[in-house]
Structure formats: C-alpha cells, structure tokens
Structure 1
C-alpha cells in the first residue's frame, strides 16, 4: 500500500512537459508598388466606368446680370420684408435670386447715404442743445443776482 501511495505522490509531483510556444513572427515591411502597377477592379455586369475628369462635359457659365438702382432697391426691400417675416437671410436672398455676397455689398453701398444725413442732424441738435443750456444758465445767474439784491445779501 505504501508503494501505491508513493506512486501516486510521484505522479502528482512530476512537472508537466514544457509546451513550446512559437516565437512571435516579426513584421516584415511590404514592398510598395508603383501606382502604374495597380490594377483597377473589373466591374460586374458590364457596367461602364465613371468618366474621368478630362472627359467630363464642360458646363457653360451663364451671363452675369446687371441690375439698375431701381431693381437693387426693390430686391433689397423684398429681402428685408422676408427677413422681417421670419425667414433667414440665406433663404430670403435665395428667393430674391441673388447671392448673399451681392446682398451685403448692395446693403453696404446703400447705407452711407442715409447715415450721413443722420450724423449731420445729430451734430446740429447737439449744437442747439449747447446754445440753449448757455441761455438758461445766463438767465438763472441774472435771477439769482436780482434775488440777492432784494434780500440784501449782495
């Protein structure tokens, strides 16, 4: 019995055999192929390949429209109404048939004529205000001097 127990202990104490693990493969860089060597994939069902950029049809540009001052003011008014109604400026300009850049250019060109008149009016009002303040100050000084004479304080 002792021999059986010794045999069992011997079996359990025996180390398992080494398992060989293959070394990790080293990555080898691939050679690069020239673009000319690359082969285009063949299309299925006889589909034709897309035309190259050089083969694309040429689209003719439309002639540029020149608007008169009256047409410009009408378009600007139309756009302003659309924007006031709640449309975005991009949508309103598109409905008018002009680009956003043209809209802002026209708007800037039209604005200074009205602003210069407002500025002149503001300067004139400030000068009038200054003149009236001086008149009021003179009258109040005269009244103050008269009251001091009456009361005998001067």
Structure 2
C-alpha cells in the first residue's frame, strides 16, 4: 500500500509525520554497542580501620576460638567470625605463636649434637647459633670426603675400563 512507510514513522505533537533519514552504517552491518555512561563514585570508598591487638588480646581470642571449636562444635569459620577476626588472621596468630613453643622443645630434644653425645642442650640463642655453625662445618667436611671418595672410585673405574 502506498503510504505504509509513513504509518510507523514518529510523529510530533501536532500529529504531522516527521521525515526520518535512515543512512546506511559504515560498520558492515554490525550492531552498534550501547554506550553506558561512566559511573562516578558518589562517595569515598569505605576503608577499614586496622585494629592492632595486644599479645594478651590475641591469646584471649585464640583461646576463645579453640574453646568454641572443642566445646561448642562450631566450624573454624564460625568461631573466628564470632570473635571478630578473619580466619587468615587466626592462622597468622597461631603461626606467630608456634615458634616460641616449638623452639624450646626442638632445641632440647630433637637436635642431636654431633660433637659429643653427652652435650647438654643449648641455653641461649647464641649457643644455638654456634651449634648450627658447627653442624654446617661438619656437613662441608663430610661433603668434601664423599666427593674425594667418589672421584677416586670414578678414576679407578675409568682405569679398569681403559677409558682414559
């Protein structure tokens, strides 16, 4: 029908048909992406205050978490949230607490003395360091001896096989 193209054309307030020029696009028939306006943050981002806990507060919170785990049967995540810290903070505090406990038991019982079997456990950090240095020197000496022995065996095998 004639005039069908004007039936769907937009009209202005007076009811007259407006001419709309549709021009072919240069994008090869692709749909144009809709552009969304950039969002401008209306307020500052919320930053968390870092709360420093004293060692006694840390110990108390760790004790409360462990009590919740043992007595109440809570999951670790629930127990940690109840105390008000993250599970990663709990693990960090536990790790920081361990070396003091482990070092006293480790130095007293599980580190054998190479120099003399009747040696007493070290009393201070300085003596632990000295013992560690002695162990390192002993390891180097043993590595040199092993290297010499292996070189001698290698030379003997080469001589027997007539490779040299």
TM-score class, shorter: 0.3 to 0.5
Determine which structure has more spread, i.e. the larger CA radius of gyration.
1
Q: TM-score under structure 1 normalisation?
A: 0.47
Larger helix fraction of residues: 1
The TM-score with structure 2 as length reference comes to 0.44
